């Protein structure tokens, strides 16, 4: 779908940037850097952008198509001094932003995991295989698509449950928020950090689809060429599908395919009416572990995508 843009109407969405430097355990924010690796960026809150972006827009020489997209610039240097958080499979990990910032950029939140070779996460640089355990896009179909329609808008945390079938071992858990307010000029902004965890009480699942960082994202992906202006429209998450927790993984050949989940639909009068009758709108979420919203669909039927996500499909 071709979206025409009235350039005069475009304003840079809130300029405040942010970085995840800690996590919350049972409601208590930990000391920054305790379980989350610390980056060595000159300016910690700077985003990571594609190397194809104009040089003046690249920050601290970090690239979304380079190794800094794993856990942020220089983060591996702090691995040995970062503690390993023991997490029971099925329970939550919750990242938090530093210095009181909130995510005032529109865009998706995602969480990935990668098992450390030899289950020694303090020695792992994140160059292995990653799988996605969580993603969230639009939560409020009547919200402003340039701001508060997005689940993460103005929040200071992103949380995900470690799938209960995750094999025991040591992992990097990677949080990511992507600001897509400049994706219409091919300049998405990536904010990433990694936590070091040891999973216990897990299962014998085979996580997948698997991807590498760099490699999982390309500047030609649709999320990087997307306009938040002109109202609600479907958004395709970058990276692989969320692991469904099962014992079978997708063949390697499918790992590049994007999740085509669409969380937002065009605003129209009927969706307002539909929302007031209770169910989720077309393409809205209607179930999944941890979901506290509507369990029915105002339009379409509720189809299970995975343990964490069900969606209203026509
Ligand atoms: C959704 O967005 C509308 C419009 O901005 C707002 O009035 C409403 O409070 C929002 N709902 C939630 C649950 O945030
Ligand atoms: C963005 O998408 C349009 C088509 O919608 C295409 O013509 C253009 O080449 C794309 N730009 C990039 C950088 O991929
Ligand atoms: C989980 O994903 C695998 C691989 O895509 C698929 O074969 C399996 O049927 C899925 N299981 C469930 C419960 O959805
Ligand atoms: Cu920005």
What is the per-residue pLDDT across 76-108, written as a single tens digit (0 to 9) for each?
A: 999 999 999 999 999 999 999 999 999 999 999
| Å from CA of 69 to ligand 2 middle | 23
Question: What is the position in ligand 1's atom list of the atom closest to the CA of 144?
Answer: 5
pLDDT (0 to 100) of residue 283? 65
221 or 307, greater pLDDT: 221
| Å from CA of 74 to ligand 3 middle | 36
The answer to whether the CB of 51 is under 6 A from ligand 3 is no
Ligand 1, from 142, 144, 275, 292: best to mutate by most atoms within 8 Å of Cβ?
142
| Å from CA of 45 to ligand 4 middle | 10
CA nearest ligand 1 atom 3, residue: 143
Give dist(CA 250, CA 9) in Å, integer: 43
Question: What is the position in ligand 3's atom list of the atom closest to the CA of 244?
Answer: 1
**Whether the model pTM is above 0.75:** yes
The answer to whether the CB of 140 is under 6 A from ligand 1 is yes
Give per-residue pLDDT as tens, 198-251. 999 999 999 999 999 999 999 999 999 999 999 999 999 999 999 999 884 333
| Å from CA of 247 to ligand 3 middle | 8
What does the pLDDT average to over 125-150? 98
Residue 306's pLDDT band (cuts 50, 70, 90): low
pLDDT at 118 over 90: yes
The answer to whether the CB of 91 is under 6 A from ligand 2 is no
What does the pLDDT average to over 2-8? 38
pLDDT (0 to 100) of residue 289? 66
pLDDT (0 to 100) of residue 14? 40
Question: What is the position in ligand 2's atom list of the atom closest to the CA of 220?
Answer: 14
Only one residue has tokens 């865009």, namely 107
The answer to whether the CB of 275 is under 6 A from ligand 1 is no
CA nearest ligand 1 atom 6, residue: 143
């Amino acid at each position: 779908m071709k979206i025409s843009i009235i350039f005069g109407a475009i304003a840079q969405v809130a300029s405040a940037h942010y970085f995840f430097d800690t996590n919350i355990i049972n409601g208590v924010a930990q000391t920054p850097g305790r379980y989350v690796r610390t980056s060595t960026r000159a300016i910690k809150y700077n985003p990571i952008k594609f190397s194809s972006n104009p040089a003046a827009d690249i920050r601290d020489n970090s690239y979304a198509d380079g190794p800094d997209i794993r856990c942020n610039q220089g983060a591996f240097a702090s691995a040995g001094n970062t503690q390993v958080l023991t997490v029971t499979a099925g329970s939550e990990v919750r990242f938090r932003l530093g210095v009181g910032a909130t995510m005032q950029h529109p865009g998706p939140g995602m969480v990935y995991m990668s098992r450390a070779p030899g289950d020694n996460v303090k020695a792992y640089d994140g160059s292995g295989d990653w799988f996605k355990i969580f993603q969230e896009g639009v939560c409020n179909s009547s919200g402003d698509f340039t701001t508060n329609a997005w689940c993460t808008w103005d929040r200071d945390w992103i949380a995900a449950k470690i799938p209960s079938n995750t094999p025991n071992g040591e992992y990097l858990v990677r949080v990511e928020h992507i600001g897509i307010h400049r994706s219409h000029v091919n300049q998405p902004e990536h904010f990433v950090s990694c936590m070091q965890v040891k999973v216990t009480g897990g299962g014998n699942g085979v996580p997948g689809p698997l991807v590498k960082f760099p490699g999982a994202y390309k500047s030609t992906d649709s999320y990087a060429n997307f306009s938040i202006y002109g109202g609600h429209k479907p958004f395709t998450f970058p990276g692989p599908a969320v692991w469904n927790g099962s014992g079978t993984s997708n063949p390697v050949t499918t790992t590049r395919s994007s999740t085509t989940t669409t969380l937002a639909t065009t605003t129209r009068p009927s969706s307002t009416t539909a929302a007031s009758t209770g169910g989720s709108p077309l393409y809205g979420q209607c179930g999944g572990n941890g979901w506290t919203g509507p369990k029915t669909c105002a339009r379409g039927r509720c189809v299970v995508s995975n343990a964490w996500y069900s969606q209203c499909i026509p």
